[in-house]
Amino acid sequence: MAKLLYPLNEKHLQAFGGIVQQFARFERLIEIAVSAYLNKSAYTLTAMALAGLGYSAKCDALKSLIALSSASEDDKEMFAAHVDDFNQYISLRNGIAHHVWKEGTKPGTIKPMSVSARSGKGKIKGLKDDEPQYTEDELFRIHDVLIKLHDNFRGFLLTTGFMERML
């Protein structure tokens, strides 16, 4: 069967949009958590201060602040676990945001394709059979998982009293 030049359909794009939106929501939650740690009334100022940082740097900033805080060791571990659980999908998010997609080698799948040349080492991803590839249903399941992970982190922040309210 001939490979499609542009294999994405409306459902793929809908799932992509949902996944990227969940990362945007989680990023706001990270900013709110940092703000709550620094000063509960300064969300706008904190968001402005963090605006120049990328998503991963914001996650690192929160984890560093919490690690140095007086929070219990259990709460410190839970903070890190919530962020790490969400971020297990960061490569998919980056693939959606920054790479073109092609048909996968398994029926009904697509996968990201990229070329990089960092540190003088060229890499091409998306050509091997063992690289991640996704069906429409898998992308929607991941979207649903991200919603649950966001809601779990939000609930953790509220129930631990870390944040008095969500902005």
In a domain, 73, yes or no: yes
Higher pLDDT, 42 or 54: 54
How far apart CA 73 and CA 91 sit, in angstroms, is 29
In a domain, 44, yes or no: yes
In a domain, 39, yes or no: yes
In a domain, 111, yes or no: no
In a domain, 145, yes or no: yes
Residues 6+ apart with CB under 8 A from 134: 92, 104, 109, 110, 111, 142
In a domain, 106, yes or no: no
Range of the domain at 63: 10-89+136-159
In percent, how much of the chain has pLDDT > 90? 55
CA distance to 36, 97, 103, 110, per residue, from 123 (Å): 41, 18, 19, 19
How crowded is residue 109: how many other Cβ atoms within 10 Å of its Cβ? Answer: 16
In a domain, 74, yes or no: yes
Note every long-range contact of 157-164, with CB atoms under 8 Å and residues 24 or more positions apart, other chains counting.
157/29, 157/32, 157/33, 157/36, 160/75, 160/78, 162/33, 162/36, 162/37, 162/71, 162/75, 163/32, 163/33, 163/36, 163/40, 164/36, 164/40
The whole-model pTM stands at 0.84
- pLDDT tens sequence across 99-119: 999 999 999 999 999 888 888
